[in-house]
Amino acid sequence: SMMTVRGWSRGPTASQIGKPAVHIASVDLKGKAYELLRQNSSSLLMEDIYKNPGPLQFQGPGADLKPISLCVEDRDYMGRIKQLQEYLEKVKNIVKPGCSQDVLKAALSSMAHVTELLTIMSSPSYSGQATI
């Protein structure tokens, strides 16, 4: 959630009073979303592109729209998927009948490790914090 109630007291013997507080969220000035904002800053001043008037829209024209920051992340994600597919295609073109034993050994070793790592990371018990 974006808000919480933080406890504080006015003196050593006073009872604690809850005070609303907004969580601090810093902006990544080197992130894709901020870079897109900088690139389009002049058009944002002149054009009416105000599409998401709040964090939650349950109905109306903005209800099904994603925030621009998520769209940028999705594009980056799909770009990385495409890059992975290109690497896999290169491996398929290099490692085929007739390649050297050294190339085959290196490919088998690397792919075995990658497969093992991805299997562990894809398991339901993986929390993202395990060290391998």
pLDDT for 15: 55
How far is Cα 106 from Cα 39, in angstroms, rounded to an integer?
43
pLDDT for 64: 73
Q: What is the mean pLDDT of each run of 10 residues along the chain (132 residues)?
A: 62 64 80 84 77 62 71 77 94 95 96 94 75 48
pLDDT for 129: 54
E strand spans, 1-132:
3-8, 17-22
How far is Cα 79 from Cα 82, in angstroms, rounded to an integer?
5
pLDDT for 104: 96
What is the pTM (predicted TM-score) of this model? 0.45
